[in-house]
Amino acid sequence: MTLHRKNLIDGEWLGEAGSRNINPSNTNDVVGEYASAGPDEAKQAIAAAKAAFPAWSRSGPLARHAVLKKTSDEIMARKDEIGRSLAREEGKTLAEGVGETIRAAQIFDFFAGETLRLSGEMVPSVRPGVGVEMTREGVGVVGIITPWNFPIAIPAWKIAPALAYGNTIVFKPAELVPESAWTIVDILHRAGLPKGVLNLVMGKGSVVGQAMLDSPDVNAISFTGSVGTGKRVAAASVEHMCKFQLEMGGKNPLVVLDDADLAVAIDCAVNGAYFSTGQRCTASSRLIVTDGIHDRFVDAVKERLDKLVIGDALDAKTQIGPVVDQTQLKQDEDYIAIGRQEGAELAFGGDRLERGTPGFYLQPALFVGSNNAMRISREEIFGPVANVIRVKDYDEALAVANDTPFGLTSGICTTSLKHATHFKRNSEAGMVMVNLPTAGVDFHVPFGGRKGSSYGPREQGRYAMEFYTTVKTAYTFAG
Ligand code: ADP
């Protein structure tokens, strides 16, 4: 049975469900049909969120706690079903889909707790008899624009803090993954959100997203996606003096030193570079390896890649699902061709794979003999493609790791406390991993990067408060 899903605007499900959502593991499988809003519906949603803000922002913390806790509980109770649906529409494996769903439940639970932990400060004024209070208030209408690669976790880590701190929302998910977005909104709506507090506006980025950027009534925009769109968000936000937060690409280095535990390094490289089909902004796409371990490392990675099961995301045996769609597949294949033209050697994979169903299957690709000036080392590919850069020692590895326009995550595999400590201090990334994959983070601590990867306050954990609240300083003379 084909699902038909509408947008949620001012507490009503509206719009014709006409836009098809295809399963990338089997393009004959239509997940559902979804409403695709125009600019007028985006405007209605913004107006509804604006109207709902005064009451919601002044609601007691228990009202907000109740909705977030109920949402967490329902997501957790339905984790297998929601995780499966996520895997079906995005192409990540069942285990990854269920894992991501559990993550979303944990995030809602965390921010349910945060509603009860809001605090302020009170200090004496420099003027005798005057008290000064510093409190945090919601920002207003928050526009949430999300990508397709984490269809439920990224919306959760933006929606949960936005609601917890009293904001109202216009949520525009990526076109490729509307079912996960619809599901989370449906759960929140039924959990008791007042009308207008959360509006779902599915549709094209250039239409719905752009309408959000053009509106003077959106007070803050939290965006995750490409660098190009991120720059548009930034420019439009400045025009309206709208607060904004951007999470964009990565070209994350994983350094492997001679003294690394080889098994740990292989796990980190294969997981970091290829799991979730390499479609994570935290993926390790540059494997920077010192001379003494280089050949053993490359052989072992190839051996591991050869054993990976690539197939239908919904098959429990699958370890790597398909690429998300035809456009992304073409981008991956184009970069594989570019790497070859640039003189890198394709040591493994890179071919299209045939499976029992028509889908976007690609064999993980590993380049060796690459250098850091090549386009495959500098531009985000966002697929199961990584390249090994051979370096002579730790100092060169660190220099190469930092020589990038991005700065989201970085990693090092070493048994040297000295090098691990130096790397943590000197890596120009927002998140640094020692003997762990560059992808895979906790939900209760800050997430974000530097340079071209991120802009604005961090997401997640208590640090999320910085973006989703504004500080008020109030002075009282008691007489
Ligand atoms: P990706 O490569 O991850 O798809 P995009 O930046 O294209 O990255 O998309 C991320 C999100 O931004 C999606 O929800 C998309 O629809 C939205 N988007 C795309 N273009 C615009 C735009 N002009 N204004 C606002 N949002 C947009």
Question: Per-residue pLDDT for 1 more than 90?
Answer: no
Q: How far apart are CA 183 and CA 120, in angstroms?
A: 35
0.85 exceeded by the pTM? yes
Burial of 12 (0-12, 13-18, 19+ CB in 10 A): middle
Q: How far apart are CA 393 and CA 396, in angstroms?
A: 6
Q: Mutation test of ligand 1: which of 145, 237, 328 has the most ligand atoms closer than 8 Å to its C-beta?
A: 145
| CA end-to-end distance (rounded Å), the chain | 70
pLDDT band at 2 (very low <50, low <70, confident <90, very high): confident
Q: How far apart are CA 163 and CA 154, in angstroms?
A: 14
Q: Would you give the DSSP letter of residue 449? A: -
Residue 140 neighbours by CB under 8 Å, 6+ apart: 50, 53, 57, 167, 168, 219, 220
Q: How far is the CA of 394 from the centre of ligand 1 (A)?
A: 38
The one catalytic residue in 89, 114, 179, 281 is 281
Would you state the pLDDT for residue 213?
98
Note whether 135 and 126 are within 8 A (CB).
Answer: no
Active-site annotation holds for 247: yes
pLDDT band at 59 (very low <50, low <70, confident <90, very high): very high
Note whether 75 and 111 are within 8 A (CB).
Answer: no
Mean pLDDT, the chain, as a whole number? 97
Number of DSSP helices (H) and strands (E) in the chain, helices first: 15, 21
Tell me the mean pLDDT in the region 199-210.
98
- C-alpha dihedral, 452 to 456 to 460 to 463, nearest 10°: 130
Active-site annotation holds for 413: no
Q: How far is the CA of 322 from the centre of ligand 1 (A)?
A: 21
Question: Per-residue pLDDT for 479 more than 90?
Answer: no
Quick one: which atom of ligand 1 is closest to the CA of 228?
Answer: 6
Which residue's CA is the nearest one to ligand 1's atom 25? 209
**CA-derived radius of gyration, the chain:** 23
Q: Mutation test of ligand 1: which of 229, 276, 281 has the most ligand atoms closer than 8 Å to its C-beta?
A: 229
Q: How far is the CA of 240 from the centre of ligand 1 (A)?
A: 19
Q: How far is the CA of 175 from the centre of ligand 1 (A)?
A: 9
Tell me the mean pLDDT in the region 470-475.
98
Q: How far apart are CA 354 and CA 282, in angstroms?
A: 28
Burial of 150 (0-12, 13-18, 19+ CB in 10 A): buried
Query: Residues with Cβ within 6 A of ligand 1?
Result: 145-148, 172, 174-175, 205-206, 209-210, 213, 225-226, 229, 232
The one catalytic residue in 41, 90, 96, 247 is 247
Tell me the mean pLDDT in the region 418-428.
98
Q: How far is the CA of 209 from the centre of ligand 1 (A)?
A: 7
pLDDT band at 17 (very low <50, low <70, confident <90, very high): confident
Q: How far is the CA of 168 from the centre of ligand 1 (A)?
A: 21
Which residue's CA is the nearest one to ligand 1's atom 13? 174
Quick one: which atom of ligand 1 is closest to the CA of 204?
Answer: 16
Angle between helices 94-115 and 61-77 (to 10 degrees): 160
Question: Per-residue pLDDT for 242 more than 90?
Answer: yes
